[in-house]
Amino acid sequence: MSGARVRAALAGIADAAGLSLAERSVPGHVAELSDALDPRDRSWSYLILAVLRTRIPPADDVVAFARRWQSEGLPVAIAPELRRAGRGRGPVARVVNATLVDVTDTSRSPYTTGIQRVARETVAAWKQSIEVCEVCFDPDTGRLRARSDNSPVVPFGGRFVLPEIAVERARSTAIASIARFSRSATLAIGFDCIPMTTAETCGPGMPGAFAHYLSTLARFDVVTPISAAAGDEFRGWRRMLVGVGLEGPRIDDVDLPFTVGDASTVDVRQVLGIDESDPIVLAVGSHEPRKNHVRLLEACEVLWRRGIRFTLVMVGGNAWNTRRFDSLLSRLRRAGRPIVTRSAVDDDVVWGLYRVARVTAFVSLNEGFGLPLAESLAAGTPAVTSSFGSMAAIGAERGALLVDPRSVPDLTDALASAVTDDALHARLVAQTSGVPQGYGWSDYAARVLERLDAVTVEAQGDV
């Protein structure tokens, strides 16, 4: 049995290298590979290790194997790998030359974060136009598997696309190895560099893991940031690579679309128990520190004290470091302030909320894009948002009041105007018609694909 498994693996390696094996014995196969392949091209070491191990080898292993092959010969270097492969079970990894899309998190997670929405919509759109092989890293073994039949695969000579972020170290290590050695054209969607540039607002563990993910992206051919502001972060990071002596990927911004789904027929006010006459101030997003919801609550409290009537609706959960938020929220609740919070709401309820809200408050300290802001404006509802980055780019002249989100007085004044000044509100509503029309997810996905096509030819064979 074990000999057959090893021979199948070696046949797969030979096939991927364009060789047909004449010998029948394992040592004969190894000798043929040794004659035909040059260890100085490390993609061969990657290929051999990946197939024999049924998992992507870390770059350090690839380099160490190649050196040993070079100095002591392939039979010596490969011997321990053959022994281990012979003891292994299960199918031998299949070498795949195709467009692989890594949807590990998106396929696993029940949440719909911004990142997962982008990944889902994009991959769905790609499937309409090209052959896509969706792949996932197995959380326990680190194996890369085809999503269709769960079989282990080894990318080689095709394209590898990362439409989400990969922060588990084993996965990110494997992807770095793919980018360096698999002769694949590689593209990643770049969401932001927040865990590097705004680490103080992140949950513990994220900045360290994210730095590793960035070191993986350093080996990619192209990164497509989701906005010009996110692009500025990635271009800044790419400049930081000068000390490592790596050029880094091409950074090509592809803006996300402004879309909002159809609202269901449910009466959102009734569902949430909000009086018909009360204006709604809507905040969509988790209560993590970066979203700045503590200052937003304080600003709302000032408005309520001034006697301004409105209900604050906050939709979002799944956050960290919310102690300060929770404590202020319960204080305001005790004081009888009209605040409605929901952690899990169907998309169509959110879309319904955008339509009935007086104003959306989205005053984050840093965003790659800001989907809730774009969605609110696409629904024709004005917003109060931060005066910099992607939020300013999305909101300026399109129905948003721009404020310094670190200043509670500024935030308070802007919210007061949006809620009480009908003429201003009408002007802002009119401005929302400036939101780009007719650019949807399929257009976005097509633009990203163009960037991948552009690098495919030049990137293949690059090691």
Which is closer to another protein, CB of 390 or CB of 432? 390
The site for another protein (CB under 8 A) is made up of 40, 59-60, 63-64, 67, 70-71, 169, 173, 176, 192-193, 195-200, 202, 204-205, 207-212, 214-216, 218, 229-230, 232-245, 289, 294-295, 298, 301-302, 324, 328, 365-366, 386-390, 404-405, 408
Task: Give me the amino acid identity at 441.
Answer: W
Cβ 397 to another protein shortest distance, Å = 18
C-alpha–C-alpha distance, residues 177 and 216, integer Å:
8
Q: What is the DSSP string of 135-170?
A: EEE-TTT--EEETTT--BEEE-SSEEEE-S---SHH
Which is closer to another protein, CB of 218 or CB of 263? 218
Which is closer to another protein, CB of 146 or CB of 392? 392
For the record, the structure tokens of 91 come out as: 């199918």
Report which of 274, 286, 284 is spatially closest to residue 311, judged by C-alpha positions: 274
> Where would I find the beta strands (DSSP E) of 33-143?
94-96, 99-102, 133-137
C-alpha–C-alpha distance, residues 79 and 463, integer Å:
25
| Residue that is written with structure tokens 């100095």 in the block | 71
Report which of 182, 252, 179, 184 is spatially closest to residue 217, judged by C-alpha positions: 179
| Alpha-carbon distance values, 428 to 42, 179, 398 (Å) | 58, 46, 7
Task: Give me the amino acid identity at 23.
Answer: E
For the record, the structure tokens of 427 come out as: 């002007």
Cβ 183 to another protein shortest distance, Å = 17
Cβ 429 to another protein shortest distance, Å = 26
Q: What is the DSSP string of 251-264?
A: E---PPP---PPP-
Count other Cβ atoms within 10 Å, centred on residue 414: 25
C-alpha–C-alpha distance, residues 215 and 244, integer Å:
10
SS3 225: strand
Q: How far apart are the first and last CA of the chain?
A: 35
352-310-297 Cα angle (round to 5): 95
Which is closer to another protein, CB of 134 or CB of 233? 233
Q: Give yes or no for a contact between 203 and 320, defined as CB atoms under 8 angstroms apart.
A: yes
Beta partners for 155? Answer: 96
Which is closer to another protein, CB of 8 or CB of 64? 64
Which is closer to another protein, CB of 51 or CB of 294? 294
Q: What is the DSSP string of 351-368?
A: HHHHHH-SEEEE--S--S
Which is closer to another protein, CB of 297 or CB of 445? 297
Which is closer to another protein, CB of 185 or CB of 218? 218
Which is closer to another protein, CB of 389 or CB of 395? 389
Give the torsion through C-alpha atoms of 17, 18, 21, 27, to 10 deg. -10
Q: Give yes or no for a contact between 99 and 123, defined as CB atoms under 8 angstroms apart.
A: no
C-alpha–C-alpha distance, residues 436 and 262, integer Å:
17
Which is closer to another protein, CB of 232 or CB of 347? 232
Which is closer to another protein, CB of 287 or CB of 295? 295
Which is closer to another protein, CB of 204 or CB of 273? 204
Cβ 408 to another protein shortest distance, Å = 7
Cβ 329 to another protein shortest distance, Å = 13
